[in-house]
Structure 1
Amino acid sequence: MGEVKVYPDSILRKKATDVEKIDDNIIEMLNRMAEIMYKYNGIGLAAEQIGLTKKLVVIDLRENDKNNLIELINPVIVASEGIYEEHEEGCLSVPGYYDVVKDRKKWIKVRYLDRNENEKELETDQFLSVVIQHEIDHLNGKLFIDHLPPTKKELFKKQWKKKAKENR
């Protein structure tokens, strides 16, 4: 398992497949994903971001200076309402770039499995709802930049190409 894949790496556009069986390999993947997320000071990480096409997500908003790891296996948003206030998003796979995303849902209900194969549901109307939507997008081959209006998306691509040339 490598480190974080960076745009425009093609793995970031692949759709993840369901985890059929939660075994030691899946548990190890979850542990490794959490390690990488913490190493890069992220608040969420999807399996695609480290080159795995499995429906695995780890999230930790680290509120009150405490770790509060959430692991989502095969997550699916089953209900949503409203629009979250405009906010700036960033991504470990698009390092150094932040932009306003306007179409995230305010309230979501997500169904998933935990590492013990228990089916769970989580409802949230906090910032966590945005992070979950962002990470589930990764599982569907979508990045936060895909939520930008066409003109902003084109500007991003030009800036990104320029930055890539400067870093060669």
Structure 2
Amino acid sequence: MTLSICTYPDPVLARRAEPVAEISEEVRQLASDMVETMYANQGIGLAAPQVGKSWRLITVDISGPENQTELVTLVNPEIQWRDGETETEEGCLSVPEFRSKVQRAAKVRVTGQDLDGNAVDMEADGLLAVCLQHEIDHLEGTIILDHVSRLKRSMYTKKVSKWQKQD
């Protein structure tokens, strides 16, 4: 089932997500719905808070909605270490019509669990590293606007206010 995506300034996006205590059928269904929602919205990553559920759960597929060949679903993901620096242009499904260059680590090591409860320990670089950092940021209550200048954030906030008045 395709879910609604929460957009800035929804308060769920600013909260630290709760750890998933047990990988239940509800968690698996949410993960499945998140994958469907991510692909339907042309995304390459989605975190549970973006669909209104404050749980530490992310889905990532850098092959994109066209290929759907590199799906990674992580429960309770944590970044263990970061190495190097890279700057890439990012967008976010929860921050529509906004793109900006963001500084991130070039390489990361992430641990967590898969949907069967198995431990996952992965190193990533390139687009996968950027995407994992972006989605894990969501679990910490951090969005792309938190990585940009106050001026850019203020301009985007004004744009959102105009959209809300038009609705």
The answer to whether the superposition gives a TM-score over 0.5 is: yes
Letter of the 1:91 counterpart:
C
In the alignment, which residue of structure 1 is the partner of 2:123?
123
Q: Is residue 2:61 matched to residue 1:60?
A: yes
Unpaired runs of 5+ residues, structure 2, are none
Q: Is residue 2:97 matched to residue 1:99?
A: no
Query: Can you list the C-alpha shifts for 1:61-80, whole angstroms capped at 9, x where unaligned?
Result: 12683432100100000010
Q: How far off is 1:151 after superposition?
A: 2.3
Letter of the 2:10 counterpart:
D
The residue matched to 2:115 in structure 1 has which SS? coil
For these two proteins, the number of residue pairs brought into alignment is 165
In the alignment, which residue of structure 2 is the partner of 1:79?
81
Unpaired runs of 5+ residues, structure 1, are none
Answer whether contact 2:35 2:59 (CA < 8 A) is retained: yes
Letter of the 2:48 counterpart:
A
Distance, in Å, in 2 between the alignment partners of 1:122 and 1:2 is 28
Q: How far off is 1:99 after superposition?
A: 1.2
Distance, in Å, in 1 between the alignment partners of 2:151 and 2:104 is 19
Shift of the 16–158 alpha-carbon distance from structure 1 to 2, 3 Å rule, reads same
Taking structure 1 as the reference length, the TM-score comes to 0.91
Q: How far off is 1:158 after superposition?
A: 2.4
Taking structure 2 as the reference length, the TM-score comes to 0.92
Query: Can you list the C-alpha shifts for 1:54-96, whole angstroms capped at 9, x where unaligned?
Result: 1000011126834321001000000101111x22111111111
Query: Can you list the C-alpha shifts for 1:87-119, whole angstroms capped at 9, x where unaligned?
Result: 211111111111111x21111000010111111
CA RMSD of aligned residues (A): 1.7
Letter of the 1:46 counterpart:
A
Between the aligned residues of both structures, percent identity stands at 36
Q: How far off is 1:2 after superposition?
A: 4.3
Distance, in Å, in 1 between the alignment partners of 2:57 and 2:99 is 24
Query: Can you list the C-alpha shifts for 1:21-72, whole angstroms capped at 9, x where unaligned?
Result: 1111111111011011111111000000111011000011126834321001
In the alignment, which residue of structure 2 is the partner of 1:153?
153
Answer whether contact 2:3 2:34 (CA < 8 A) is retained: no
